[in-house]
Amino acid sequence: MDRAEIEERVINLLAEAVVVPREDVEDLRTDLREDLGVDSMDYVELITVLERDLGQQVEREELAYVRTVGDVVDLVERLVSRRDAAAAG
């Protein structure tokens, strides 16, 4: 999965998890808390949606520094790389 595919997937997952229109999360600079009003319960929902979609556990600590849509994309990119490396190894 390349970066563009990950971005598209994250945008759709965020819109689902946070229950906002897709266009509200299309800008990778969008701040989850300040711009979207994401709270701790939304982060729990985001973790659940990511785990379901990726088929792997997302450590809560990994979300500690996630502030923007782009940060979520970076996180998912790392998780996908880790998953693919484990599958190949």
Q: For residues 49 and 73, give the distance between their C-alpha atoms in angstroms, rounded to a whole number.
A: 14
Residues 10 and 12: their CA atoms lie apart, in Å, by: 5
* Contacts with 50 (C-beta within 8 Å, 6 or more apart), sequence order: 13, 17, 58, 76, 79
Supply the residues annotated as catalytic: 39
Percentage of the chain surpassing pLDDT 90? 67
Number of other CB atoms surrounding residue 41 within 10 Å: 8
What are the residues whose beta carbons fall under 8 Å from the beta carbon of 3, sequence distance 6 or more? 73, 77
pLDDT given for residue 41 in this prediction: 92
**pLDDT tier for residue 78 given thresholds of 50, 70 and 90:** very high
pTM over 0.85: yes
CATH number of the domain located at residue range(s) 3-88 in this protein: 1.10.1200.10
